[in-house]
Amino acid sequence: MFRTRLLSGIVLVAAALVLIISGGYLLLAGLFAVSVIGLFELYRVFHIEKSLLGMVGYLAVLVYYINLGIPFIPEKEIFVLGFLILTMAVYVLKFPQYKADQVFAGFTGVFYVAVMLSCIYQTRIMAVGAYIVWLIFLASWGSDTCAYCVGVLIGKHKMAPKLSPKKSVEGAFGGVLGAALLTMLYGWIFREQMNLATEDIFILAAISAIGAIISMIGDLAASAVKRNYAIKDYGKIIPGHGGILDRFDSVIFTAPMLYYLARFLIR
């Protein structure tokens, strides 16, 4: 199992490297594919993955990503309201085929998975976004690795025993500190390319530390859904890791937080 997990993790990291370094439409297409698969996994929990309601969600993701690449919707509110009206139309016209929780999952799932993940692309196209975008993964996957190591070594106090019994308070602190330190090292290495002063590196470290906290919320939120619906993993597409949502649960929350903090704090 460890070997399988390690190999699939290497492949996943390699794919992320190719997509993010390339950027542009290749990254956008890759995120679209990841979003659709992740949304399919979420919809499967609510048994709407192959239904008309699910198809409306997949269509919304397609429209949203096309608009990111070639803007044609003048205001985001038009997309949100149009998608909501179409979702409720399916609910009404197919009544009583769908339960209310399925309808709300169909609607919110698009924002939870696709819209939040799209912030990786939106970060990448920022000024110096080619460097800033990696903070998303330092704050999520980096902090997760540091939290695991610290938790194994000195973890004693359970952070959320009912949701994730193996996570500890000590591990959480280790994850936050690890993300900040990794970001400081990253910022120092690429300080010339990013035109960073010393205080800017500390700002980036603070952003990553906040991102690490948010990533834990994302991780636990995904675990809460699995607990509610008595499932072990969202899928099996990534051997040893589970589904897209099992691997990207923390990234989903970290990406929008880091994108907006970077927009307002980095000049």
With contact defined as beta carbons under 8 Å apart, do 143 and 210 qualify? no
Half-sphere exposure of 166 (CA within 13 A, CB side): 9
Q: What is the pLDDT of residue 7?
A: 79
Record the pTM: 0.92
| Residues 110, 3: Cα–Cα separation, whole Å | 33
Indicate the angle between helix axes 244-265 and 24-45, nearest 10 degrees: 130
Indicate the angle between helix axes 52-69 and 76-93, nearest 10 degrees: 170
What tens digit of pLDDT does each residue of 218-262 get?
A: 999 998 999 899 898 898 888 777 899 998 999 999 999 999 988
When the pLDDT of each residue in the chain is averaged and rounded to a whole number, the result is: 91
pLDDT category of residue 6 using cuts at 50, 70 and 90: low
Q: What is the pLDDT of residue 2?
A: 53
**How many of the other CB atoms lie within 10 Å of CB of 24?**
12
Q: What is the pLDDT of residue 262?
A: 83
Q: What is the pLDDT of residue 151?
A: 86
Q: Are strands 164-168 and 158-160 parallel, antiparallel or unpaired?
A: antiparallel
Tell me how far CA of residue 15 lies from CA of 8, 26, 30, 34, 142, in angstroms. 10, 11, 9, 12, 17
Q: What is the pLDDT of residue 267?
A: 57
If one counts the domains in the chain, the total is: 1
Structural domain boundaries, residue 137: 2-265
Q: pLDDT at residue 266 above 70?
A: no
pLDDT category of residue 36 using cuts at 50, 70 and 90: very high
| Residues 11, 17: Cα–Cα separation, whole Å | 10
